[in-house]
A and B are shown apart, each in its own frame.
Chain A
Amino acid sequence: MALSRKQRVVAKTVVWIAALTPAALLAWDFWRGNLSVNPIEDITNRTGWWTLTLLSVTLAITPVRRLTGRHDIVRFRRLIGLFAFFYGTLHLLTYIVLDRYFAFGTLLEDIAERPFITVGFATWLILLSLALTSTRGWIRRLGKKWRRLHRGVYVAAVLGTIHFYWGVKADTREPLWFMGIVAVLLLARLPAVRRMAGSVRARRRSAGERVSAGRRSEPLTP
């Protein structure tokens, strides 16, 4: 049961609005003075948090698709991934412009010497390369290599959570949550786990539930 054209437009609009809402709320809170007396810290934390959240959502699409048989949701994967990159870029720009105010000397030193920042920057570089090659043209041009390159999203997700974990002082709850979520989403891609999920679906189907047969033109897999 593929979405109609109209449904697709509506769904994409919803994704756009949902993904831009955190940025809008942040701007609103800044404008209204709802942030703490150290707003740069709040902006840094919130944009970083949304980067990881949207990365997790991106990674969740394939397992959810397999589990539910709703193959059409893969349409939104690229868009959500690009929004993850959008928040990651805001996060980096907050650091470069608001926090350091273009003090490139110390920025380079940070990137070179502090693993916490090295890892965060590496995460952004990966997201950048994925965002740049996310167009139809690049997918065609890179062919098989494209799939390999875009498995980099797994690396980005792992590095992103490590960056968060190393960034906090003592309260590691949230970074550990993200690590757990990313771990589950990566494990869900192991062939053994996929087979298990497949058998769940088969059982459901035999139990007479209505399950989408899925579209034959299998979308790209990462």
Chain B
Amino acid sequence: MLIRKHGTHDIRSSEITPESVFVNRRTFLERSTKIGLAAAFAPGVLAACDRSANTANAASSVPVPGEPSQDVDWSRMRSELGEELNSYEAVTTYNNFYEFGTGKEDPARNAHTLEPRPWSIAVEGEVAKPAVYDLEDFLSPVRLEDRVYRLRCVEAWSMVIPWRGFALADLIRRVEPTGNARFVEFTTLNDPEQMPGQRRNVLPWPYVEGLRMDEANHPLTMLVTGVYGRELPNQNGAPLRLIVPWKYGFKGVKSIVKIRFVRDMPATTWAIVAPDEYGFYANVNPEVDHPRWSQATERRIGEFRRRETLPFNGYGNQVASMYAGMDPRTLY
């Protein structure tokens, strides 16, 4: 679009929204209220009311924001490869978020029990400034931006999604990791009250994901607070989630409460459950099949014919160099 930079580590211009769309958090809040987007914040409020009133009928308090924000013409937005966006409906009704059930449509149905406000995030481990942040404080210094990324699920489907968030690298700079920090570990909320799916041991809770430091610092790696210009709906991982577009979707840990800088490679959830099927790196790789299905092609949600899967989900020119010399077979 407007900004054009070149170089292997650049974010493609089309992945970056024009300056006019950049919003820091404060103006975002103002604007949201102004154009009547208060609904975006209502779930938490209503859920709180609901709890104090002690009503069992939580389902009545599910004003999931039903449409994209109106401050951007989303219909004209494309990925850097010219791909159209998946609909807001697709993005918010078809989710893997086992904390709210293992069916794709379960999270949209069940995630109203999550209370994304108030929320705190612990930053700990090998950092000069460990702290527990209130979400508002955590976000106040950052500048949110919209970026269109492909999301490739390990189950061989994909979407194109306009996330709103900021580079994880910005946070890493702020908290000053020590020289011992070689990996970052992210942990999802563990609260069966709010996350009914955690009452069964489908996965070992809480959900944990991780990145190597260079991956975490890569400019494509994003902490996400919104989608389609809205605050993240609960089923998409409110209020804060990770997005690493060249990796399979399960790396994108949702509803993060802890970010820990560590020396050793963290034990991550799916790699614990099925180490031969899900690795730590989990880079999108059409050459390395999942033991039970091929990863060579994928179904873009909304399309009939399958597409070829791109190495590194199409971000190879920006990220492949990080894995030079590593055996791609170990990168599943």
Write the nearest CB–CB distance from B31 to chain A, whole angstroms: 29
Is A106 a contact of B273 with CB atoms below 8 Å? no
How many pairs of A and B residues are in contact by the CB < 8 Å rule? 54
Q: Which residues of B contact A192 (CB under 8 A)?
A: none
Grouping DSSP codes into helix (H, G, I), strand (E, B) and loop, the A interface class, with mixed when no group exceeds half, is helix
A100 contacts which chain B residues (CB < 8 A)? 306
* B170 beta carbon closer than 8 Å to chain A: no
Question: Please, how many residues of chain A have a CB less than 8 angstroms from a CB on the other chain?
Answer: 22
Contact B292 A114 (CB under 8 A): yes
Chain A residue nearest to B101 in the complex (CB): A171
- Cβ contact within 8 Å between B157 and A38: yes
Which B-chain residue is minimally distant from A98 (CB atoms)? B304
Partner of B306, one of A101, A114, A169, A170: A101
Cβ A41 vs Cβ B104 within 8 A: yes
For chain B, which range describes its interface: under 10, 10 to 19, 20 to 34, or 35 or more residues?
Answer: 20 to 34
B227-278 contacts to A (CB < 8 Å): 273
With a 10 A CB-CB cut-off, give which of A98, A115, A167, A170 has the most chain B CB atoms. A170
A residues 6-49 near B (Cβ < 8 Å) are 36-38, 40-41
Q: Which A residues lie within 8 Å of B306 (CB)?
A: 99-101, 103
- Residues of A with C-beta under 8 A to B87: 37
Q: What residues of B have a CB within 8 angstroms of the CB of A38 in the complex?
A: 94, 104, 157, 299, 301
| B89 close to A37 (CB less than 8 A) | yes
Q: Do A116 and B292 contact each other (CB < 8 Å), given the known contacts A37-B301, A40-B299, A170-B273?
A: yes
Say yes or no for B50: interface residue by CB 8 A criterion: no
Q: Which residues of A contact B322 (CB under 8 A)?
A: none
Q: Chain B: which residue is nearest A106 at the CB level? A: B294
- Extra inter-chain contacts (16) besides given A38-B104, A114-B293, CB under 8 Å: A36-B93, A37-B86, A37-B90, A40-B299, A41-B104, A98-B304, A99-B299, A114-B291, A114-B292, A115-B292, A116-B293, A170-B98, A170-B202, A170-B203, A170-B273, A171-B102
